[in-house]
């Protein structure tokens, strides 16, 4: 049975041997952090290494291979100085969707403002809106039906930040977030969750709901 805590402990030990004091941080993100993992879920690790080089990337990859389950390994790696200059639009999301296992992420990232949060939501919505509209016009129906459930994964993350902007509370899981939202937001989040394993969904209805939600949220920001 796979235990993510044991996996991370073993990975940290390997990385400390490889990078020594240059290993600044290891954290967990994604479905394993939210206790929403399935057998096919990725293992999303965040790593920060001081003075990161191309050779370091190769060595980090070797460590992931060595610790096992490389086919499911995923995540984010960054140099310490690079992270200090990271786009502030992403910092709130990083801090609230990453669990510290080695080091403290809050000590490594720049500050952010509520305006950064609004701009993060706007950018994410812009990307979602553009993606679904572009594909609707330029791809065939079969491809649209296949891809919409995958695209809808971003709805949850956008909702997390919308709720944070309005309430000051960052909700970690889909289940908890569903209890905190209502109206069109709840309909859209329920839709995105239902599409995950539903290959026979009503595409026209789902697309229309998502499209109109994007428009309404953008006009309200």
CATH number at residue 23: 3.30.460.10
CA dihedral 178, 183, 184, 187 (to 10 degrees): 50
Helices and strands of the chain, counted as H and E runs: 11, 4
| Structure tokens, 171 | 């909700």
Q: Is the pLDDT assigned to residue 177 strictly greater than 80?
A: yes
Domain extent for 84: 4-107
Percent of the chain whose pLDDT exceeds 70: 99
What are the structure tokens assigned to 209, written together? 């709901």
- Residue 166's pLDDT is 94
Q: Where are the beta strands (DSSP E) in 6-42?
A: 23-29
- Judge contact between 125 and 214, C-beta under 8 A: yes
- The reply to whether 57 and 139 lie within a common domain is no
Which of 80, 107, 134 lies at the terminal end of a domain, its last residue?
A: 107
Q: What's the pLDDT tens digit per position in 79-102?
A: 999 999 999 999 999 999 999 999
* Shared-domain flag, residues 216 and 120: yes
């Amino acid at each position: 049975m796979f235990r993510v805590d044991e996996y991370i402990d073993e990975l940290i030990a390997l990385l400390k041997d490889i990078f020594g004091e240059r290993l600044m941080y290891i954290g967990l993100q994604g479905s394993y952090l939210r206790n929403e993992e399935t057998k096919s879920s990725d293992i999303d690790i965040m790593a920060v290494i001081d003075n990161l080089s191309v050779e370091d990337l190769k060595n980090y990859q070797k460590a992931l291979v060595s610790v096992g389950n490389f086919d499911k390994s995923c995540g984010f790696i960054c140099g310490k100085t690079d992270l200090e200059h990271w786009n502030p639009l992403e910092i709130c999301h990083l801090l609230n969707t990453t669990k510290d296992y080695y080091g403290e992420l809050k000590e490594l990232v720049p500050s952010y403002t509520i305006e950064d949060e609004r701009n993060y939501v706007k950018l994410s919505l812009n990307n979602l809106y553009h993606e679904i509209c572009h594909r609707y016009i330029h791809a065939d129906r079969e491809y649209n039906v296949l891809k919409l459930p995958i695209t809808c994964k971003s709805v949850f993350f956008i909702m997390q930040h919308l709720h944070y902007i309005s309430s000051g509370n960052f909700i970690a899981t889909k289940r908890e977030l569903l209890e905190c939202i209502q109206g069109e937001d709840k309909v859209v989040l329920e839709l995105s969750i239902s599409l995950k394993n539903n290959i026979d969904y009503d595409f026209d209805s789902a697309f229309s709901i998502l499209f109109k939600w994007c428009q309404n949220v953008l006009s309200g920001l």
